[in-house]
Amino acid sequence: MTRQDDSEQLAWDFDAPHTDGGESGAVVVGEGGLAGLAPGSDAWIAALQPTDADAMRLDRLDIAAMEAPEAARLWARVAAWVESDQIAYYIDDAPVSSDAAYDARLRCLQSLEAQFPSLDSPQSPTHRVGGTFSNDFASVRHPSRMMSLDDVFSIEELREWYDGVLRALDWPESKPLPMTCEVKIDGLALNLIYRNGVLEQGLTRGDGVTGEDITLNVRTISTIPQNLSGPDEDIPEFVEVRGEVFMRWDDFHTLNNENEDAGRAPFANPRNAAAGSLRQKDPRVTATRRLSFYAHGIGSLRWGAGRANDGHDVVNDQSEAYELYRKWGVPVSPHNREVTSFQQILDMIEYYGEHRGDIEHALDGIVVKVDDLGLQRSLGATSRAPRWAIAYKYPPEEVNTELLDITVQVGRTGRVTPVAVLKPVYVAGSTVSRTTLHNPFEVERKGVLIGDTVVVRKAGDVIPELVGPVLERRKGREDELRRFVMPMRCPSCGARLAPAKEGDKDIRCPNVESCPAQLTERIINLASRKAFDIEHLGDQSAVALTNPEENRPDSVETYAPNITEIIVKPGEEPDPYEPLAGLSLPEPQTPVLSSEAGLF
C-alpha cells in the first residue's frame, strides 16, 4: 500500500502532538494517541481510533504474536468500523474513510481470521461486498453473484497480484497472457437483466447476492437500451449485463449550476450525484439527471433452445463480450485496452494518471482482468472478489490552500467538532472550503496553525480531508500564525464543554435538552429521508424552530419562496387575497419511520 514518504515539508506523519505549554481558556483533554503503548496490547486496542492514520498502523501489527483474547477484542473493534464504512459507502453514498484506510482495516480482519479461525463466520464483514439495504426499493436476488473487486494502492502490490496469477495458472512468464485494462469509473454498479432482448430488471449490486430493484429509474437512462439490437438469432434468451451508472463531468457541472440557481445544495462529486439520482423515489426526478452507463462485465448468458448449434453457446473472452455488447447497442467504455504484458499495464496506468481530467467521467483507478473466461473460471474467486481481476487505485489528488480559521460545530449528539475553514480550492471535481478536523487531538496531531498553507485532498476522491501543513511556507510568517484553542463553552448555548467520560477524545455539550444547535440537527435528522422523510422541513425551517425569534430571518421567502407574504400593520385590516388558480395542497400522508435513522 502506498504511503506518504517522510518529508521535511510535511508534518502529518509525526505521532507526537505539538504542545506549547497550554493556552488559557482551552479544555484539558489529556494525553492521547498510541505513542508509548505496546502494539496489540489491551491499552493499544482501546486507544485505537477510526482515523486513517490508525488504520495504517494495523498493517504493521504482528498478529501472529497476539493472544486469542486480545485478537478477539481487536477483531470486534475493527469489524465495527468496517461495517460502518460499508454502510456509508454502499448505502448512504457518503464514504467516511479513505480507500486505503478501509482496505487496511479489511486486511487486518482477514489476517485475524486466518490466524484465529474461531473469529471467522459467514456474518463477518470480510465476506460481504457491500452493506445492508435502504428501505426504499425491493430486494431482489441476482441470478448470478455480482462480486466486487480487490484494490491495490501501489505498483508493488499490483505486481504481486500479476505474478500470483501467472503462478496459479502455471503460465510461463515469457508467454503473453491476454488481459483487459479498463478505466475504473467512479459511479454505481448496476446489473441489467435482459430476457429475449428486452430489459426486464435493473438491480444495484447490494451485497453481491441481493440487490435493490431500481428498474423504473434505470428505464429513464437514455444510454441504456430498452431492447437489444440485432437479428433475433443474435439475441440471447437471457443475459446479465454488468456495468456502471455515472454522471459525465459536463452533466455534473450543469446539474450543480441548476441546483445553485434554485437555492439547493450542490452535489460534492459526480459519484454522489449519480448514486443519489439513481435512488430517487420518483423516476421523473431521475430522468432529469442526465445519467450515463458503460458495461464492464457479464453475468449469466443463455442463448436458448435451437441456438446452441449456431455458435452462440460460448463467449470465450471478456473482450469478446464487449464486442457483443456493441452489436446489441449497449455502450462500452472507449478507453478499454487489450494488453499482453505487465509493462503495457503500467503504460495504461501512467497515461490515465496524467490524463484523469481529460476524459468524460471521474475515474479513480485502472481495472486489470484476465481476458480468457476459461482462465477466469480456473482462477476462481474469494467470498467477495474474483482472483482474476484487480483494481489499481490512484493516490488522491492533493492541492495546497490557506487555512483561514478553525471554528467549532455542534452536532445532534452534542459532539463539538473543530472545522477547518479553507480558502476555497478545486479538488477532485468540486470546490472545497470546509473540512472536519474531528477533535482537538487531531488538530494537535496534524500540527496545523491558523494561517498555514495546508495540503488538502479528498479521501477516496470523495471526503475532503486536511492532510497537514506545508512547513516550508511558515518561514518568515511565524508572527502571522496562531494555534487553535478549543473553547470552554458551547458556542450555541453557552454550556460548559467537557469529555463525556474520562479519556474520551471528543468534547461534548451536555445541554441535550435545550442547546439550539443540537435541537436543530435533531430536527434535520428527524425530517430526513432515512427517518420520517418530511418534505419542506429542511435546514432553514429547523433553524427557525429552534433559534430565538430575534435571530430568525425576517422574510417569509427564507422558508417558502413561492408563498405570498401579507403584512398587516397594527390597527389595519388585511387586503383581500385570492389564492392562485389551481392552487392545491398535497394529500396528507402518514409518515413511516425508517429503522436506519439514529434519531437521538
Question: Is 138 within 8 Å of 216 (Cβ atoms)?
Answer: no
Give the type of residue at 167: R
Query: How many H-runs (helices) and E-runs (strands) does the chain carry?
Result: 15, 18
Neighbouring C-alpha atoms within 13 Å toward the C-beta of 458: 20
Neighbouring C-alpha atoms within 13 Å toward the C-beta of 366: 26
CA distance 167 to 159: 12
Dihedral angle at the C-alpha atoms of 559, 565, 570, 575, nearest 10 degrees?
A: -160
* Helical packing angle, 342-354 and 155-169, nearest 10°: 150
CA distance 452 to 468: 9
Instruction: Compute CA distances 143 → 10, 191, 192, 234, whole Å.
Output: 50, 10, 11, 22
- Biggest CA-to-CA distance, the chain: 96
CA distance 551 to 516: 12
CA distance 107 to 267: 31
CA distance 372 to 178: 7
DSSP, res 343: H
CA distance 85 to 87: 6
CA distance 192 to 200: 8
In DSSP notation, 55-121 reads HHHHTT--GGG--HHHHHHHHHHHHHHHHHHHIIIIISS---S-HHHHHHHHHHHHHHHHH-GGG--
Helices (H), 447-568: 516-527, 539-546
CA distance 125 to 132: 11
CA distance 204 to 41: 41
Question: Is 135 within 8 Å of 595 (Cβ atoms)?
Answer: yes
Neighbouring C-alpha atoms within 13 Å toward the C-beta of 564: 8
Residue 327 annotated in active site: no
Pairing of the two strands 292-302 and 238-246: antiparallel
Where residue 268 falls (left for φ over 0; alpha for ψ -120 to 50; beta otherwise) is: alpha
Question: Is 184 within 8 Å of 175 (Cβ atoms)?
Answer: no
**Neighbour-count burial of 120, counting CB atoms closer than 10 A to its CB (0-12 exposed, 13-18 middle, 19+ buried):** middle
CA 342 to chain centre: 30
Catalytically active residues, by annotation: 184
